[in-house]
């Protein structure tokens, strides 16, 4: 009897595995929420806003260069959909809406290594949904429909949640969201806002040539876009509500301050955090990059090139599987 059960089990597993092999390629692509809302590229113009000119030691930039930096600082490319999914299914982890709680503004740097957005302030009262959100943003020329609102933390942007309908509104209870595990861990709970992550979230930190007098209240001139946030405490930020005996808490807790395992949602099965290093000398690195042959599964990625100059960005030279392959490994940073 036992043998028959075992055999049946093996056959079922093999059947499921084979079925998955055939089903997976036929699965419909996940619809892009911007396309679902009928938007096109024209709805997301770049901004040449000069609101951030005091950063990076007042580096003089052309309008095009400013657009590039603004993209780095502000553009979340729809990754708020990923972060919202993780908040709904993460059992207390990755709930960015909770992590931006304005009551924590005075100690965000000390507790989580976060960089507060200059010019903003702690909220004196909750908003219309009972949520505590930083106030007082001044970003001339930054369209909230494209880039969301600033959350008060550099690199995190706030958008209305398109799924927050009348039923979700009727069910919404901010007090329970902040305090009741059963309520906020429900994967069906629809939050009023979604929070997106721009590249700058991990890459912006204090300019070592002009460090802030008070790290909880930096000014624009104290910030560098590319120095890398060597202070970020991933477990305090991503897993503030996870139980200490949970797997998620323990994994995140093993990461030293200033490190992230950018490929930890990919299937490399490695816990491999590394630091957000400064990005520098990119043109020089490109000039010494050797052409390499890209081979194997990496070529299955649409748009992957067969030969490319590999500048070995990323400490492990991850781009030696090609640019698209390297980007596809890092869901956490690229969303
Ligand atoms: C969640 C944190 C995080 C976010 C968000 C993030 N990065 Fe990074 N980034 C890192 C880490 C960590 C490294 C270093 C990884 C390594 O070397 O293995 C890194 C390294 C890099 C490097 C290589 C630097 C070098 O000198 O080799 C580039 C380029 C880069 N990131 C670009 C981006 C872009 C573009 C985005 C947005 C689309 C982005 N990053 C968003 C964490 C992040």
CA distance 104 to 116: 10
Residues 293 and 179 in one domain: no
Residues 238 and 286 in one domain: no
Bridge partner list, 10: none
- Among 242, 270, 305, which residue terminates a domain? 242
Helix (H) or strand (E) holding 4: helix 2-26
The answer as to whether 12 is a domain residue is no
Cβ(265) to ligand 1 under 6 A?
no
Residues 113 and 206 in one domain: yes
In this structure, the dihedral spanned by the alpha carbons of residues 115, 118, 122 and 126, taken in order and rounded to 10 degrees, is -90
Cβ(201) to ligand 1 under 6 A?
yes
pLDDT truncated to tens, each residue of the chain (335 aa)?
444 444 444 433 343 333 333 334 444 566 778 888 899 999 999 999 999 999 999 999 999 999 999 999 999 999 999 899 999 998 888 899 999 999 999 999 999 999 999 999 999 999 999 999 999 988 999 999 999 999 999 999 999 999 999 999 999 999 999 999 999 999 999 999 999 999 999 999 999 999 999 999 999 999 999 999 999 999 899 988 788 898 888 989 999 999 998 877 666 778 889 999 999 888 898 898 889 999 998 899 888 889 988 888 877 777 888 888 888 877 777 76
Cβ(279) to ligand 1 under 6 A?
yes
Q: What is the pLDDT of residue 30?
A: 67
Report how far apart the first and last C-alpha atoms of the chain are (Å, whole number).
48
Cβ(268) to ligand 1 under 6 A?
no
- Choose which residue among 74, 157, 266, 277 to substitute to test ligand 1 binding: the one with the highest number of ligand atoms within 8 A of its C-beta: 277
The answer as to whether 262 is a domain residue is no
CA distance 33 to 31: 6
Q: Whose CA is nearest to atom 41 of ligand 1?
A: 199
Residue 319, domain extent:
282-334
Residues 144 and 200 in one domain: yes
Residues 159 and 61 in one domain: yes
Residues 163 and 308 in one domain: no
Residues 232 and 297 in one domain: no
The answer as to whether 38 is a domain residue is yes
DSSP for 135-164? Answer: B----TT--HHHH-EE-SBTTEEEEE-TT-
- Choose which residue among 224, 276, 282, 321 to substitute to test ligand 1 binding: the one with the highest number of ligand atoms within 8 A of its C-beta: 276
**Maximum distance among all Cα pairs of the chain, rounded to whole angstroms:** 78
CA distance 130 to 143: 25
The answer as to whether 308 is a domain residue is yes
The answer as to whether 312 is a domain residue is yes
The answer as to whether 204 is a domain residue is yes
What is the dihedral sign for C-alpha 228, 158, 78, 46? negative
Residues 121 and 170 in one domain: yes
Q: Regarding beta strands 156-160 and 149-150, do their DSSP bridges make them parallel or antiparallel, or are they unpaired?
A: antiparallel
Residues 326 and 191 in one domain: no
Q: What is the pLDDT of residue 4?
A: 44
Q: Whose CA is nearest to atom 19 of ligand 1?
A: 276
Helix (H) or strand (E) holding 259: strand 259-260
Q: Which atom of ligand 1 is nearest to the CA of 334?
A: 38
CA distances from 293 to 31, 282, 286 (A): 33, 21, 16
Residues 115 and 228 in one domain: yes
Residue 117 DSSP label: P
The answer as to whether 277 is a domain residue is no
CA distance 69 to 67: 6
Q: Which atom of ligand 1 is nearest to the CA of 332?
A: 1
Domain count across the chain: 2
333 C-alpha to center of ligand 1: Å? 7
For residue 68, what are its two tokens? 């590039």
**This prediction's pTM:** 0.89
Q: What is the pLDDT of residue 221?
A: 98
The answer as to whether 247 is a domain residue is no
Can you tell me which residue has the tokens 């491999």? 272
Cβ(251) to ligand 1 under 6 A?
no
- Among 190, 221, 242, which residue terminates a domain? 242
- Among 242, 266, 296, which residue terminates a domain? 242
């Amino acid at each position: 009897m036992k043998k028959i059960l075992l055999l049946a089990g093996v056959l079922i597993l093999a059947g499921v595995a084979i079925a998955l092999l055939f089903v997976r390629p036929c699965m419909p692509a996940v619809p892009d929420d911007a396309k679902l809302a009928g938007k096109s590229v024209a709805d997301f113009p770049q901004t040449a806003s000069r609101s951030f000119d005091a950063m990076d030691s007042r580096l003089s930039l052309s309008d095009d260069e400013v657009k590039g930096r603004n993209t780095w600082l502000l553009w979340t490319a729809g990754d708020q959909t990923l972060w919202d999914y993780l908040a709904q299914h993460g059992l207390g982890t990755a709930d960015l809406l909770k992590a931006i709680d304005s009551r924590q503004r005075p100690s965000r740097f000390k507790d989580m290594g976060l960089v507060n957005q200059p010019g903003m302030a702690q909220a004196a009262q909750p908003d219309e949904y009972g949520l505590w959100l930083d106030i007082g943003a001044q970003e001339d020329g930054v369209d909230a429909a494209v880039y969301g609102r600033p959350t008060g933390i550099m690199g995190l942007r706030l958008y209305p949640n398109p799924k927050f309908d009348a039923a979700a509104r009727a069910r919404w209870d901010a007090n329970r969201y902040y305090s009741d595990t059963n309520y906020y861990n429900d994967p069906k709970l629809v939050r009023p806002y979604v929070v997106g992550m721009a590249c700058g979230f991990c890459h912006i930190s204090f300019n070592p040539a002009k460090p802030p007098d008070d790290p909880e209240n930096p000014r624009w001139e104290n910030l560098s876009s590319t120095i890398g946030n060597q202070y970020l405490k991933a477990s305090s930020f991503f897993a503030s509500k996870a139980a200490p005996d949970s797997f998620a808490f323990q994994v995140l807790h093993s990461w030293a301050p200033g490190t992230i395992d950018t490929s930890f949602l990919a299937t490399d099965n490695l816990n491999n955090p590394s630091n957000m290093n400064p990005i520098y000398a990119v043109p020089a690195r490109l000039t010494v990059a050797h052409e390499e042959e890209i081979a194997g599964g990496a070529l299955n990625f649409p748009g992957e090139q067969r030969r490319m100059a590999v500048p070995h960005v990323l400490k492990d030279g991850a781009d030696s599987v090609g640019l698209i392959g390297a980007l596809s490994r890092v869901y956490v940073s690229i969303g």
